[in-house]
Amino acid sequence: MKILKILLLPALAVHFLTGCGDSHPKKPVSKWAAAGTVNLQDAAFNGNVEAINQHIANGSDLNAKDPKTGSTPLITAAVAGQTQAAKALIAGGANLNRQNNDGSTALMCAAFFGHADLVQALLQAGADKNLKNKFGSTALESVQVPFESVQGIYDFFGTVLAPAGLKLDYAQIKAERPRIARLLQ
């Protein structure tokens, strides 16, 4: 049963993170952005550090959650592998351990998507590697399962996230999973 939870964790996490592929609605202004600025969630997803710094300077809520998914800008940056954007959010005071609707954190998402440098940055900043999501799994458990056992989940989310501009590099993810597991131990 534990292996099933571990296998389903990433699928459910990304489902909630992506809002079924619509995590970045095309609106000129949202609750995360003032008129004339880039939406903070979009800035995090696209790695727009200049816009993130503008939000920090303007006092934007760096922990504001997407209403559909519960993802914060830091979680969004982690999914997209935007290390510099994540570092800007961390420096600006973003909550490292804030959880989305399924209990996933930025660390869990960075680990699952194979972003080792981002995992390392989150750990160095003090992210809690022992937190569990609503399915009882940690970031480490999401990368301990053999890649071949979860490749179908990556296939699914590669398709779901493609319209948002995310491209999954399977060779990179597969290569980084052991490194990430060592970082998380």
Alpha carbons 95 and 165: distance in angstroms, whole number: 26
Q: Evaluate if residue 53 carries a pLDDT over 60.
A: yes
HSE-CB for 77 with a 13 A CA cutoff: 30
What pTM was estimated for this model as a whole? 0.83
Residue 120 CB partners (closer than 8 Å, separation 6+): 183
How large is the C-alpha radius of gyration of the chain?
15
pLDDT at position 139? 97
Average of per-residue pLDDT across 24-47: 66
Residues 6+ apart with CB under 8 A from 149: 7
Reported as a single tens digit per residue, the pLDDT across 86-118 is 999 999 999 999 999 999 999 999 999 999 999
Q: Which domains does the chain have, with CATH numbers?
A: 2-184 (1.25.40.20)
pLDDT digits (tens, 9 = 90+) for 117-153: 999 999 999 999 999 999 899 999 999 999 999 999 8
